[in-house]
Amino acid sequence: MTKIIVVGGGAGGLELATKLGRKLGRKGKAEVTLVDRNRTHLWKPLLHEVATGAMDPGIDGLSYRSHAHNHGFGFQMGSLTYIDRDARTITLAPMLDDSGRPMLSERTLQYDILVLAIGSVSNDFGTQGVRDHCIFLDSPQQAERFHDELMNRFLQYGESEAVDDKVNIAIVGAGATGVELSAELYNAVEHLSAYGFKKLSRDCLRLTLVEAGPRILPALPERISGMAHKELRELGVDVRTNTMVVEATAEGLKTRDDELIPATLMVWAAGIKAPNFLKEIAGLETNRINQLTVKPTLQTSRDDSIFAIGDCAHCMQENGKPVPPRAQSAHQMASLVYDNILARLNNKPLKSYVYKDHGSLVSLSRYSTVGSLMGNLMRGSMMVEGRIARTVYVSLYRMHQVALHGYTRTGLMMLVGRINRFLRPRLKLH
């Protein structure tokens, strides 16, 4: 039986494994296996909400094992480290338990078709001190670490006697992650003051958002970035554009102009790269940021049996620009690779991927949502804000849930979410 392995159960990989499991795995037409280094899946665009406590990964995380059982595919927990293209095997690193004791030794899995969907990590561009002093928002574990530190800083602030004391937080990178996290932090402070955190109010936060380029949200139209900038300033964020960070220290961020931006909690969200181990893995072609070069069919340029999708894929569009690393790209690529795997199994020609930009939306927590939508009915993009923008923003996540669970279960999950809003605190407090 054909063995299909999907490595990475994120925005793209989990949707693909689910569809393949339903179509082929359940009917015994292929053996479909998903590999992920984590036990549970959490949609990455929600990580800033985990960081502030607006989302609890313990409740909202999806167990890979149970999802695999329900949808006709197998699950192997482990980290991909090596691919042997001649033997058509992948190797998963040995696993340790929480106290560092060996749990599982190195494993080797056989494939006929391999799909790499392992996403991306933050790119610190080799900036000194970043690894030691900044937190990245690449995984639920890192987002939870930020949340723990945030709670500690707020507790400390409540007990401090100093009158001019503030909680100093700095975020590097004013793309969607940095901007959304900034607004979400003000939302958190407002809610936490109701839960007995002493002295906490908007004014206790000194939040600096640092961007090397001339404006925030560089990937979005200028008008939208202007609106978001104004909204953040009104919340109290100190937005620094044209500011290059050259070092992170225990005291804060040093800029190229020799200024120190004081901060006790720092987040680095200034660009992405594919994980370092992908660089020339198994002789596959990669670009400057380790992404795997793919053909229009999303097969890697040097091996037709290996596909790559999502953030770890370097796919050029006809306009000469690469497909942007976004959830909607990962979703679309998963759909195309699903079609192409079926075509390959049936000896039919494979389709080419064409990126469809449906627009971009940025959530400024409950304060506002801004963005642009692209549609067939309109030429170019249409600005949206407020309730319509919020609804479309949320519907992106709903589409991901529908792809995984179907409409009925997604509806039930929405209902449970509403009930939880009555039963649980507005923010995760532990």
Ligand X SMILES: Cc1cc2nc3c(=O)[nH]c(=O)nc-3n(C[C@H](O)[C@H](O)[C@H](O)COP(=O)(O)OP(=O)(O)OC[C@H]3O[C@@H](n4cnc5c(N)ncnc54)[C@H](O)[C@@H]3O)c2cc1C
Contact residues: ligand X, CB under 6 A: 7-13, 35-38, 44-45, 47-48, 79-80, 117-119, 137, 176-177, 275, 310-312, 325-328, 330
> Which residue has the closest beta carbon to ligand X?
10
* Closer CB to ligand X, 64 or 197, in the complex: 64
Measure Cα distances from 200 to 150, 164, 172, 190, 252 in Å: 12, 13, 24, 8, 22
> Which residue lies nearer to ligand X by CB, 157 or 186?
186
- For 250, residues 6+ apart whose C-beta sits below 8 A from its C-beta are 133
What does the H/E/C string look like for 28-73?
A: CCEEEEEEECCCEECCHHHHHHHHHCCCCHHHHCEEHHHHHHHHCC
**If we measure between CA atoms, which residue out of 396, 390, 398, 430 comes closest to residue 415?**
398
Smallest gap, in angstroms, from Cβ of residue 409 to ligand X? 20
- Shortest distance, position 5 Cβ to ligand X, whole Å: 11
**Nearest distance from residue 399's CB to ligand X, in Å?**
11
CB nearer ligand X, residue 55 or residue 167: 55
Cβ 158 to ligand X shortest distance, Å: 27
The two counts, helices (H) then strands (E), for the chain are 10, 28
Which residue, 47 or 292, is less far from ligand X as judged by CB?
47
Structure tokens at 412: 């039930």
Q: Between 30 and 90, whose beta carbon lies closer to ligand X?
A: 90
Least distance (Å) between residue 411 CB and ligand X:
23
Output 30 or 362, the one with its CB closest to ligand X: 362
> Are 283 and 264 in contact, with CB atoms under 8 Å apart?
no
Helices in 112-203 by DSSP H: which ranges? 130-133, 140-159, 176-192
* Pairwise CA distance, residues 319 & 316, whole Å: 8
DSSP 281: G
CB of 274 to ligand X, least distance (A): 9
